[in-house]
Structure 1
Amino acid sequence: MAGFLLWLLLLVFCWPLALLALVLYPIVWLLLLPLRLVGITVSAVFAFLGALLMLPARMLRGRPV
């Protein structure tokens, strides 16, 4: 909601810049989408590796000595 109000304020004071931002926002979002997907994939791989490395410690902790 705040972003929309800021855009309306920009539209009132400098409408060419507001229209340029309105046109460029989807293009920038599409350009950054592959980087976001790579980030999600890398964080999932790190979470998997961390769980895999901690598996022996969890199995030993759960077993009574």
Structure 2
Amino acid sequence: MKLILTILLWCILWALCWPLALLVLLVLPFIWLLSIPFKIFAVCLKSLLALLESLLLLPARMLGYRVS
């Protein structure tokens, strides 16, 4: 559904202002490439926070606390 909406919005942009639509087509892959390091950082940060949470909750789990 998101893909169809994106294509529809791009077609509307093409009909209203085709130079801007061409610019979007040319610039979008570069923006995606620039966002890759931030995505990798987000995955690393999530895993670090999950490790920290598991270490902090370890004593409670050893005493029998169960997360429901």
TM-score with structure 2 length normalisation? Answer: 0.85
Among 24, 27, 34, the alignment partner of 2:37 is 34
Identity %: 44
How far residue 59 of structure 1 moved from its aligned partner, in angstroms, is 1.0
When the two chains are superposed, the root-mean-square deviation of aligned CA atoms in Å is 1.0
Which structure: greater helix fraction?
A: 1
TM-score with structure 1 length normalisation? Answer: 0.89
Instruction: Kindly report structure 1 stretches of 4+ aligned residues shifted beyond 3 Å.
Output: none
| Number of matched pairs | 62
Among 42, 57, 60, the alignment partner of 2:60 is 57
What secondary structure does 1:61 align onto?
A: coil
**Quick check: which has more Rg, 1 or 2?**
1
What secondary structure does 1:27 align onto?
A: helix
In structure 1, stretches of 5+ residues that fail to align are none
Task: Give the aligned partner of residue 5 of structure 2.
Answer: 2
